[in-house]
């Protein structure tokens, strides 16, 4: 289906005959593929007698050749899938099947994109970035300390380089613009942290999405909505790779403490009144920052306390 989509991605009309000739298949084969595009990828195709077919809106598809030709360093081997349940789940399956990291899986769509605590990540076809990087963890648990915050910092740098100057971080690792979520991060582990262990760095970025058909239950935005034009996802992936390589290198060599000040400088909620939802009861306090391992420091009733763990969720208080 992807070769057909590449021909259609400009959003112009293409006759069935021309599409068939370009792909070396019959017009009826093209017609079948178009049916699948609509059914499987939920991509609306317009048909006009005498003019042919066109996509409802143009796309800029991810392209392995373009990415391979870019200057993204290092060249982590990369595979683009048209559709997958979740890029993190795919990476975990590949690791279990013996594929050796580092490698990246990108998808044009996720059917069961995931957030933290089993929540859903809305992932329509061809619009956003669904990116998972598999890395080997050398050096045990210490190597994981603050890692998700460092990934947030690298992602923020890539967004800023693309012009998203108002973007900032929300602990532990969401990226927000004016209180609206533009990107999220989900780290998952496989193996034994005391032995051979791999980490999957999952990143979802709203790049060109303008409508979610009511599927997202909190304020969100996208790069296109903020910047006012279609964003080239291939260029963004290259920039993200560059920033991840840089920041993961610093983290590996010097640990999170080397990046702690920079992270706090970019934390949107420093000094704000917040409520932290934990498994048990909510805790309210003032954000002091993060500690050397990336745990959140709050002043709660005059006493400093630190919090860490994947089950924690931060919200601003109304009086903040």
- Report the alpha-carbon distance of residue 176 to residue 161 in Å, rounded: 15
In whole angstroms, how close is the CB of 181 to ligand ATP at the nearest point?
Answer: 4
Contact with ligand ATP (CB under 6 A): which of 14, 109, 116, 157? 116
**181 carries an active-site annotation:** yes
Question: Does residue 206 bind ligand ATP (CB under 6 A)?
Answer: yes
Among the listed residues 303, 300, 308, the one whose alpha carbon sits nearest the alpha carbon of residue 283: 300
Q: Give whichever of 38 and 217 is closer to ligand ATP, judged by the CB atom.
A: 217
**Does 148 engage in binding with ligand ATP (CB under 6 A)?**
no
In angstroms, what is the minimal distance from the CB of 209 to ligand ATP? 7
Which of 48, 218, 253, 280 is the binder for ligand ATP (CB under 6 A)? Answer: 218
Asked if 168 is part of the footprint of ligand ATP (rule: CB under 6 A), the reply reads: no
Give yes or no for residue 313 binding ligand ATP (CB under 6 A). Answer: yes
The residue sitting closest to ligand ATP, measured at its beta carbon, is 115
Annotated active-site residue in 94, 109, 114, 116 = 116
**Annotated catalytic residue, options 79, 93, 272, 315:** 315
**Candidates 100-108, 151-159, 211-219, 223-231; binding stretch for ligand ATP (CB under 6 A):** 211-219
* Residues catalogued as catalytic: 116, 181, 315
Residue numbers at the binding site for ligand ATP (CB under 6 A): 115-116, 119-122, 174, 181, 184, 204, 206, 216-218, 220, 313-314
């Amino acid at each position: 289906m992807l070769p057909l989509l590449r021909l259609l991605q400009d959003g112009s009309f293409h006759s069935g005959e021309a599409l068939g000739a370009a792909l070396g298949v019959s017009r009826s084969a093209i017609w079948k593929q178009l049916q699948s595009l609509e059914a499987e990828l939920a991509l609306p195709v317009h048909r006009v007698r005498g003019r042919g077919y066109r996509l409802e809106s143009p796309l800029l598809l991810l392209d392995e050749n373009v990415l391979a030709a870019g200057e993204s360093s290092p060249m982590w081997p990369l595979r683009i899938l048209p559709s997958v349940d979740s890029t993190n789940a795919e990476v975990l399956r590949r690791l279990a099947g013996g594929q050796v990291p580092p490698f990246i899986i990108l998808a044009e769509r996720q059917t069961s994109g995931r957030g933290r605590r089993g929540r859903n990540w809305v992932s329509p076809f061809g619009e956003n970035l669904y990116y998972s990087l598999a890395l080997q963890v050398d050096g045990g648990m210490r190597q994981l300390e603050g890692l998700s915050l460092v990934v947030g910092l690298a992602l923020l740098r890539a967004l800023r380089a693309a012009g998203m100057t108002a973007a900032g971080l929300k602990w532990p690792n969401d990226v927000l613009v004016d209180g609206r979520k533009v990107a999220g991060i989900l780290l998952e582990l496989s193996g034994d942290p005391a032995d051979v262990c791999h980490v999957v760095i999952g990143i979802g970025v709203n790049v060109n999405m303008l409508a979610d058909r009511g599927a997202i239950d909190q304020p969100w935005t996208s790069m296109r909505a903020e910047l006012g034009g279609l964003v080239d996802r291939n260029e963004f992936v290259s920039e993200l790779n560059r920033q991840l390589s840089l920041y993961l290198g610093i983290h590996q060599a010097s640990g999170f403490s080397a990046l702690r000040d920079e992270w706090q400088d970019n934390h949107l909620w420093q000094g704000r009144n917040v409520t932290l939802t934990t498994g048990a009861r909510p805790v309210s306090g003032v954000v002091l920052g993060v500690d050397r391992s990336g745990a959140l420091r709050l002043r709660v009733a005059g006493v400093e306390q630190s919090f860490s763990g994947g089950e924690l969720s931060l919200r601003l208080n109304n009086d903040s």
